[in-house]
Structure 1
Amino acid sequence: AEALDTLEDIMTRIDMEYVDRVTATRIIAHGSESLYMALGNERFLNANVRRGQEDGVAALRRLLIQKYWNKPVGSRLEARMVVTEVCDHANQLLRLNPAAVVMEYIFGGCNALDEYSHFLTPDRYNDLFGSIQGEFVGIGIEMESEKGRGMHLVNVLLDSPAEEGGLQPGDFIVEIDGRDCRNLSTDEAASLLRGVRGSQVDLAYENPGGKQSRSVLTRRPVTVHSITRTLMLDDDQGIGYIRMTGFQSSTTEELDAALRNLERQGMRSLIWDLRGNPGGLLETAASVLDRFIGTGVLVSTEGRSHDQNQTFRADGFNTRTMPLVLLVDENSASASEIVAGAINDHRRGTIIGRKTYGKWSVQSIIHLPGGTGLKLTTAKFFSPNHQNYAGVGISPHIDVPEPKDLQVTYFRGRTSDEIRTDPDVVRALEVLERRVTRN
């Protein structure tokens, strides 16, 4: 009953708040498809069905196709009745736990939505809030699964247990507490890496050349800084550099501190690096733009729910007028694109790099019972000139092809010399130095 209540709650939220209209028929159809697929998945069957039940599995799959495939569903109450009916069949044929059936309808139902809307398990819900608030308990890595190789370290956070233990971006974790993780998914490895403050995890990892090392790390609170590099690139010309890797609750405060630091060193123009920045909080994007744009609209949002229609305007307080270059690439998304859209429409600076990702929608995080949650697209956002670049991205004013030998990810701990020779930064320096010369 609790799982059914959660499904009904999710359908209510989708009906009231999701950015587009979605019928109950479509949500339940995706749920039936998800259960059908799960009944062909060895891992699901091992966890939920006793051995020797092949005939029952085949019978339930046939029933799903014959009776429930795209079955018209007129309301949330009717949806609940349909799923209850499927649970009864699953119990009779397989003694299948109703909660397992309903969870497939929950996950499958969310697949009827856009790619940014998801049901959040308790672990994912906590991870998401940790990234928004800028602190979590762990070892301080960002990783992606590469089948056959392990967990590719996309990033190692500064001052984290992982950095202190010798792990570096580009390494591959191949073993976690004695378990080989070369063929695990990112989520499976993440669950092995989770643990309480003070607990330890034993890792085996390889560098890109294949040399293996071991490290025992102690989990502790890790602070995620959204500004990871602040330096003067050219003292004579007064050109500063700031790298921003996210938009979280502390970002505006971090930016103010970084700007004051560079201004004390004589900064007269700025390179603002948003490459690889996947976004974050909408309000933070508007707040940091306030530091560079003095008047007018910064971004607006539009949704089906009235409270999703907002316009953010510059307040003219604490605004800098210095020459500005913005660096973006194909991994600059969401809040990063809000910044790029405003800089472009207000003609506030030069955008250099590659076309941005093209994610122009707003997600709300909704708390559900049992520590779970729903990440739901509730609005689309628009640049000051009311453009939405969803699926398209913003093209830079100056396109710089990415060198083939350059790592795709821009690591947070790069040296000053590496930054100065980065092709995008070299081009940005040329633009700003030419502007200084012309002035």
Structure 2
Amino acid sequence: MIHVPRNTCRSPAARALSVRAVVAAVAVGGGLLFAPPAGSPLGPVVANAAPGSFTDAAELADAVADGRNLERARKWAEAIRHYDAALERFAPDHEAPGAEPLPEPIRALQYGLRRSKIHHGIHRRYADPSYTEQLLSRSPESALDLYETVLGQIRRNYVEPIGATSLVAHGTESLYLALSDRKFLGRNLPAHGADDGSAEAAVERFRAVLRTEFWNAPIRAEDERRTVARAARLGRELCGLSETATIFEYLAGATNALDDYSAFLSPEGLASLYGNIEGNFVGIGIEIEAEPGRGQFLRKILPGSPAEEGGAKAGEYVSAIGGTDCRDLSTDEAAKLLRGPEFSAVELEITDARGVARTGRFVRRTVEVASVERAEMVEPGIGYIRMGGFQETTAREMADAVNQLRRQGMTKLIWDLRGNPGGLLDAAVDVLDLFVEEGTLVSTRGPAGGQTQTYRARRAGTLAARDLELVLLVDGDSASASEIVAGCLRDHRRGTIVGRTTYGKWSVQSIVDLGDAPRAGWAAAAAGSRGSGLKLTTARFYSPDGRNYAGIGLNPDVPAPEYADDAQEPEPTEAPEDLFAAADPAAGIAGDRTAGYRPGRVARAADGPRVPQTSLPLNEQPDVQAALKLLRRR
């Protein structure tokens, strides 16, 4: 298995936690659903672009065309990155108060991003054996029961109210697109494309019914189950589609009406989240990212893992897995090849930066993931601690590391949270309690019981670390719990923040174990015989001064040299109330409108070098050198 930091929290009461969202998330943000123009499966036609405030019309039209080409090639991850970058470039502030009406090309980019995310989600689900086993083992009635359970959880606990029409309509959209997706059709309708064309015609008849009878149809909560059951029955009658497959598409699609951090979790996905909380998983200890034509880019090698012991290095590429060429595979397809039971072996072909290939054999085993990845003295009096995530053991690891360095004479500390995607809310609170003696650390606000809380420092828990001079390193991938730390230290004036603007993920997720047992088999064993789950945004968190920087992020006090703009001095982070507010996902359904793209850092590609600074020696990292320069002056 690939270690992707997606931290969550196990508890019968679904304890609150904060997690990082990734581009590959199943969820698609928004509560409005667009209606596809007649005869155009790809959304609106590019008409007259509006140059000036958005950009040159020809370049914008090219961006739309390039995105559609990626969609036609079914390169969904690339399409997501392309559309996201295009919207960031051409319309970064289009949802700001008073924004002018969007021209057709911008809407085309929005639609393209939605479609690509939904297709990518379909491919992720169907690459997951624990998900496909559910399709085989569940009856339609059982699937409808699960659907009702999920919608009930959303209605009771989601951070904002969501109407029944929106939840069902997003399921219709997901099913409509799935019926044009080769992965979905190949699994559920194997005769599609293999006969005289009658199967394709039957599928198109069903899609036409979805457009005319289900698309944006007003729904009351008491009609949800009956409506989805009718769609499932029509799918079986018109084209032979499994009723359970239809219902599961409505189930997964319902979370598309929510934010990008909420998602339905397969048994394997739920087990993976629990493993990350506990700091262990079975695999070889690599983080990968697909790069078409070159293979799987090794973003990170976990310390003490089989991959590290076998000589794999960050910045290299995996070109084959178990004899299968993976140069053009998606991350999820490669992940499927990497999965396997403990003590089984996998052979990788790895290409280094010089293009020299080698083959290595790696044995999968339980990999223990430490929160504190590195702790050392960098020069007399100055210590360095790098933290990779926030999990159950984080506060204890941090206390041990600080005490160890204090014994070596540390009086000043560089605390490195670059690339730290976050993790458990409780872990962030416990770590901050080591450094802040009194006052509020963070607060949360949500509609459900227990989601509105204020977390305060406990004097008894504070280490002697409170007298340490602190410099906190952050970057665009410092998210969630990392931002809780940054916001708290800033508001308490407890340290100096160095680096670049953080990710801007300021919401709290809770994990609900839906309690349904997976079918017996390898996938069930890999999932620890757990059922599926739901990751749901249930609250927002706020810094001690009461600010929430969702979609904005915190700017550093001191920009690191690599990220500084030579032409401008960095501006301090503006208060969220002075900036745009995100669209209300409960606004309803409108025939020709779209929830579209939300500006900010929700799904943007990371800036900077391909190989993170953190993989370089400390004396070669500009961020660390900037922090040292600050501390030497004090």
Q: Give the TM-score taking structure 1 as reference length.
A: 0.95
Answer yes or no: is the 8 Å Cα contact 1:155–1:411 preserved in 2: no
2:15 corresponds to which residue? none
Q: CA deviation at 1:172?
A: 1.4
Taking the aligned partners of 1:410 and 1:250, their CA distance within structure 2 comes to 26
1:289 corresponds to which residue? 432
Picking from 367, 382, 390, the partner of 2:542 is: 382
2:25 counterpart of 1:25: no
Answer yes or no: is the 8 Å Cα contact 1:270–1:325 preserved in 2: yes
Taking the aligned partners of 1:60 and 1:406, their CA distance within structure 2 comes to 47
Picking from 206, 209, 218, the partner of 1:60 is: 206
2:409 counterpart of 1:210: no
Answer yes or no: is the 8 Å Cα contact 1:353–1:399 preserved in 2: yes
SS of the aligned residue for 2:355 comes to: coil
2:307 counterpart of 1:104: no
1:354 partner amino acid = R
2:619 partner amino acid = R
Answer yes or no: is the 8 Å Cα contact 2:488–2:544 preserved in 1: yes
1:152 corresponds to which residue? 297
Picking from 513, 533, 543, the partner of 1:367 is: 513
1:230-379 equivalences under 5 Å are 230-235=375-380, 238-316=381-459, 317-319=461-463, 320=465, 321-368=467-514, 369-370=516-517, 371-379=531-539
Superposition CA RMSD, Å: 1.4
Q: CA deviation at 1:433?
A: 1.1
Q: CA deviation at 1:407?
A: 4.5
2:149 corresponds to which residue? 9
Taking the aligned partners of 1:32 and 1:26, their CA distance within structure 2 comes to 10
SS of the aligned residue for 1:308 comes to: coil
Picking from 194, 219, 241, the partner of 1:73 is: 219
Answer yes or no: is the 8 Å Cα contact 1:169–1:411 preserved in 2: no
Aligned pair in 2 of structure 1 residues 290, 430: CA closer, same or farther (>3 Å)? same
Answer yes or no: is the 8 Å Cα contact 1:276–1:410 preserved in 2: no
1:285 partner amino acid = A
1:365 partner amino acid = I
Answer yes or no: is the 8 Å Cα contact 2:350–2:358 preserved in 1: yes
Taking the aligned partners of 1:305 and 1:219, their CA distance within structure 2 comes to 41
2:176 partner amino acid = Y
CA-to-partner distance for each residue in 1:342-383, whole Å, 9 max, x for gaps? 010000011111010000000111112232111111100000
Between the two structures, name the one with larger relative contact order (CA 8 Å, sep ≥ 6): 2
Q: CA deviation at 1:210?
A: 2.2
2:541 counterpart of 1:398: no
1:227 corresponds to which residue? 372
2:239 counterpart of 1:94: yes
Answer yes or no: is the 8 Å Cα contact 2:314–2:611 preserved in 1: no
Q: CA deviation at 1:396?
A: 0.8
Answer yes or no: is the 8 Å Cα contact 1:148–1:183 preserved in 2: yes
1:413-424 equivalences under 5 Å are 414=616, 418-424=617-623
Aligned pair in 2 of structure 1 residues 411, 327: CA closer, same or farther (>3 Å)? closer
CA-to-partner distance for each residue in 1:140-174, whole Å, 9 max, x for gaps? 11111222222211111111111111111111112
SS of the aligned residue for 1:230 comes to: strand
Q: Give the TM-score taking structure 2 as reference length.
A: 0.66
Taking the aligned partners of 1:62 and 1:267, their CA distance within structure 2 comes to 69
Answer yes or no: is the 8 Å Cα contact 2:447–2:538 preserved in 1: yes
2:171 counterpart of 1:47: no
Taking the aligned partners of 1:334 and 1:256, their CA distance within structure 2 comes to 21
Q: CA deviation at 1:410?
A: 4.0
1:419 partner amino acid = L
Answer yes or no: is the 8 Å Cα contact 1:354–1:401 preserved in 2: no
Picking from 604, 609, 612, the partner of 1:409 is: 612
Taking the aligned partners of 1:422 and 1:401, their CA distance within structure 2 comes to 10
CA-to-partner distance for each residue in 1:239-286, whole Å, 9 max, x for gaps? 100000100111111101111110111001101000110000000001
Report the number of matched residues. Answer: 428
Q: CA deviation at 1:225?
A: 0.9
Identity %: 49
2:314 counterpart of 1:169: yes
Q: CA deviation at 1:318?
A: 3.0
Q: Which runs of 4+ in 1 moved over 6 A?
A: none
CA-to-partner distance for each residue in 1:97-125, whole Å, 9 max, x for gaps? 11111111111111111001111112211
Taking the aligned partners of 2:147 and 2:358, their CA distance within structure 1 comes to 45
Q: CA deviation at 1:405?
A: 8.1
- Whichever structure has more strand as a proportion of its residues is 1
Answer yes or no: is the 8 Å Cα contact 2:443–2:543 preserved in 1: yes
Q: CA deviation at 1:409?
A: 2.2
Taking the aligned partners of 1:255 and 1:269, their CA distance within structure 2 comes to 15
Q: CA deviation at 1:209?
A: 2.9
Q: CA deviation at 1:208?
A: 2.9
2:420 partner amino acid = N
2:569 corresponds to which residue? none
CA-to-partner distance for each residue in 1:283-334, whole Å, 9 max, x for gaps? 0001101111100000000001121011110001233211110011111000
Taking the aligned partners of 1:325 and 1:405, their CA distance within structure 2 comes to 21
Taking the aligned partners of 2:231 and 2:325, their CA distance within structure 1 comes to 38
2:67 corresponds to which residue? none
5+ residue gaps, structure 1, are none
Q: CA deviation at 1:406?
A: 4.7
Answer yes or no: is the 8 Å Cα contact 1:228–1:243 preserved in 2: yes
